[in-house]
Amino acid sequence: MAQIQPFRAWRPRPELAPQVASPPYDVLSSEEARQQARGDELTFLHVVKPEIDLPPNTPPHDPRIYAKGAENLQRLCQQGALVREETPALYVYQQRMGEHVQAGLVAGASIDEYEGGAIKKHEHTRPDKEDDRARHIDALGANTGPVFLTYRATAEIDRRVDEIRSTAPTYDFTSPDEIQHTLWVVREPSQIDALREAFAGVPHLYVADGHHRSAAATRVRAARRDANPDHRGDEPYNFFLAVIFPHDQMKILPYNRVVHDLGGLSNEAFRQKVDERFTLAPTSQPAPDRPHCFGLYLAGRWERLTARPGTFLEAHPVASLDAAILQNNLLAPVLGIEDPRRDKRIDFVGGIRGTGELERRCQSGSAAAFALYPTRIEQLMQVADAGEVMPPKSTWFEPKLRSGLIVRSLEG
């Protein structure tokens, strides 16, 4: 079952929501966030990227960063930019990007279920990133960025969410990136109970994006539980902030690759080695139109790579992923990029930037770029169901969830 918890959110006054809401912490560099926040005291970047209010040479993970984040959150609350919900509520958060619309439920998700495997993962996490998020959550005493969860869609939940979406929203605005954000507050106890009952019939939730935030929440829970002699199990720190979307509304874009050099190979020698496992053909279409095909940008032109039969296990949930096929058949054996998480010779480019960004990178000095076909959400769930992990940078979800619309306190 999926246990969801209503809570008393801190959220912006409606007229301030467009100004407060910010991109999530991990899509902007510190300098980009500093530039974007300049002259704007209300943007939530001061909370999720608090290093922007300290000298640029402040070391990463300096204690002053987390203290500044807590100070900035308190300031927004004390100024009345953020107000506290009077009673526990759930929230419906809808995003529109062009023709694509997705609507999810904002709730507290159970850390017990996360640790027990009912909330399934598909990525390894890095301890240093977990440390950073855990220190941020603990210092602020709040979840300030939601974890993006999904589940296999059900008609019952769709119906109840659609009923809420038919009413007047609390927020409705378009952010500078042209994404429309609409939010409804669900206060009616009967609606809350009905949604909780409907989710109790969902066997599993899946982490789509936010593995470090969810893992960090478990660390904070463990520390607070151990420090609380009267721990009951229903305290706010036993849950983390999540937005839960049905799987059939998910939009995944490709996560493309750029390599800085060919490992000493000439262009022709590189092509010859690639030809052992892929067919190569000139193309005028940079983005692949089907799985197991790749766009290769090399020496100023695009080519189509198609994985040769027998070079991967089609029935294996991980080995059949395009990111794994490229890694196992080209990046590692041909270019020597064995660990793409740490190898400085490779960069990853979110599909939202388009194939033009791949061309630009190569024209600026990189050796080659690879355009991938997007992973399907069903593949992600198959990997998680098998207890496996996906290759690094396999999925790029759009649109991104805005931070600052809903803040979930751990302090009750």
246 with 314, same domain: the answer is: no
Confidence (pLDDT) at 10: 98
Is residue 382 in some structural domain?
no
> At 296, which CATH number?
3.30.1760
Local confidence band at 223 (pLDDT 50, 70, 90 cut-offs): very high
Q: For residue 107, is pLDDT > 90?
A: yes
262 with 246, same domain?
Answer: no
Residue 87 pLDDT class (50, 70, 90 cuts) = very high
Structure tokens at 228: 């609380």
Q: Is the pLDDT of residue 14 over 80?
A: yes
Looking at the structure, tell me whether residues 212 and 276 fall in a common domain. no
* Mean pLDDT of the residues in the chain: 96
* pLDDT tens, residue by residue, 251-301: 999 999 999 999 999 999 999 999 999 999 999 999 999 999 999 999 999
Give 163's contacts (C-beta < 8 A, 6+ positions apart). none
Other Cβ atoms within 10 Å of 53 Cβ, number = 18
Report which DSSP code applies to 104: E
User: Which uninterrupted H or E stretch holds 350?
Assistant: strand 346-350
Domain count, the chain: 2
403 and 352 fall within a common domain:
no
Q: How confident is the model at residue 412 (pLDDT cuts 50, 70, 90)?
A: confident
Q: Where are the alpha helices (DSSP H) in 29-126?
A: 30-37, 45-48, 63-78, 111-116
Q: Does one domain contain both 160 and 185?
A: yes
Residue 391 lies inside a defined structural domain of this protein: no
Beta-bridge mates of residue 10: 84, 407
Inform me whether the pLDDT recorded for 222 exceeds 80: yes
| Coil, helix or strand at residue 305 | strand
State how far Cα 43 lies from the chain centre: 20
Residue 87, token pair as written in the block:
């009673």
Do 165 and 294 belong together in one domain?
Answer: no
For the chain, the helix, strand and coil percentages under 3-state DSSP, each to the nearest 5: 35, 25, 40
* 225 CB-near residues (< 8 Å, 6+ apart): 231, 237, 238
Domain, as residue range, for 336:
255-373
Chain segment 324-380, per-residue pLDDT in tens: 999 999 999 999 999 998 899 999 999 999 999 999 999 999 999 999 999 999 999
Q: 158: exposed, middle or buried (C-beta count within 10 Å: 0-12, 13-18, 19+)?
A: middle
DSSP state letter for 407? B
* Angle at 131 (CA atoms; ends 350, 226), nearest 5 degrees: 135
Are 146 and 69 contained in the same domain? Answer: yes
